[in-house]
Amino acid sequence: MSVAPDSLHKQVIEVSQKGGAVRVLGVDPGLTRCGIGVVEGVAGRPLTMLGAGVVRTPVDADLGHRLLAVEEGIEQWLDEHRPECVAVERVFSQHNVRTVMGTAQASAVAMLCAARRGLPVALHTPSEVKAAVTGSGRADKAQVGAMVTRLLRLNAPPRPADAADALALAVCHIWRAPAQNRLQQAAARLRAAAPTSPKGRTA
């Protein structure tokens, strides 16, 4: 089954146009600990945390069983919270190839779970998330955790840090989605207005 690239964004665009709150499930992918955070709200208004935690897998288990455990864990979060969008950290190159491979595999599982339900998936780089939440793309995990605690009006930083990172992903997407949607709509209007070149003409 093929899915048009732009179709995954239509649901978020429609929700944003209505001006209602959006429920986003953030995923900080990983094989040993996959961070999960659910945030609901709209850009420019106070946000609400609905849940946060991690999906854990044993390091000595077979890869296939670990990926299956990640899938089952994410599915449970999707069943419980029914998000309208899933935000996943975009995998970037690291010196530890084994680590980045595991992260990429867990990321693919998260996107698969979302696509199976017809949910739009958004990818954000770590620097994008840090800049959105703290104002600096070079913020460390402690700074991200502190700002997530403040923004979501929590009594203490979420633990472990993977859960805080997942919440930061969800916050980042809620804040960035309206601007991204406006850019997508403007690009669509430009494409629609562009004159089409005649085909089949010969000199």
CATH of the domain at 133: 3.30.420.10
Q: Reply yes or no on whether 89 is catalytic.
A: yes
pLDDT for res 195: 75
SS3 call for 52: strand
pLDDT for res 197: 59
CB distance 126 to 46 below 8 Å = no
Question: Is 201 among the domain residues?
Answer: no
pLDDT for res 103: 93
Q: Reply yes or no on whether 28 is catalytic.
A: yes
Hunting for tokens 């800049």 — which residue is that?
Answer: 131
Q: What is the rounded distance in angstroms from the CA atom of residue 116 to the CA atom of residue 132? A: 29
pLDDT for res 89: 96
Question: Is 2 among the domain residues?
Answer: no
Question: Is 19 among the domain residues?
Answer: yes
Tell me which residue range forms the domain holding 170.
7-187
pLDDT for res 51: 97
Q: Reply yes or no on whether 165 is catalytic.
A: no
SS3 call for 76: helix
pLDDT for res 6: 40
Answer whether 0.85 is exceeded by the pTM: no
Hunting for tokens 């077979």 — which residue is that?
Answer: 62
Q: Which of 40, 75, 89, 128 is catalytic?
A: 89
Question: Is 13 among the domain residues?
Answer: yes
Q: Which of 14, 80, 128, 162 is catalytic?
A: 162
pLDDT for res 190: 74
Question: Is 29 among the domain residues?
Answer: yes
pLDDT for res 177: 75
Q: What is the rounded distance in angstroms from the CA atom of residue 172 to the CA atom of residue 180? A: 12
Question: Is 1 among the domain residues?
Answer: no
Name which of 34, 103, 45, 107 is nearest 73 in CA terms.
Answer: 34
pLDDT for res 166: 98
pLDDT for res 162: 96
pLDDT for res 132: 93
- DSSP secondary structure string for all residues of 97-144: HHHHHHHHHHHHHHHHHHHHTT--EEEE-HHHHHHHHHS-TT--HHHH
pLDDT for res 187: 61
Give the pairing of strands 121-124 and 33-41.
Answer: unpaired
Q: How many domains does the chain divide into?
A: 1
CB distance 24 to 86 below 8 Å = yes
Q: What is the rounded distance in angstroms from the CA atom of residue 186 to the CA atom of residue 5? A: 17
For the chain, residues with pLDDT lower than 70 are 1-19, 93-95, 178-188, 196-203
pLDDT for res 66: 97
SS3 call for 201: coil
**Amino acid identity, position 154:** L
Q: Which of 28, 62, 79, 165 is catalytic?
A: 28
Give the pairing of strands 33-41 and 48-56.
Answer: antiparallel
Question: Is 93 among the domain residues?
Answer: yes
pLDDT for res 96: 72
Question: Is 60 among the domain residues?
Answer: yes
Q: What is the rounded distance in angstroms from the CA atom of residue 36 to the CA atom of residue 10? A: 23
- DSSP secondary structure string for all residues of 12-50: HHHHHHHT--EEEEEEE--SSEEEEEEEEE-TTS--EEE
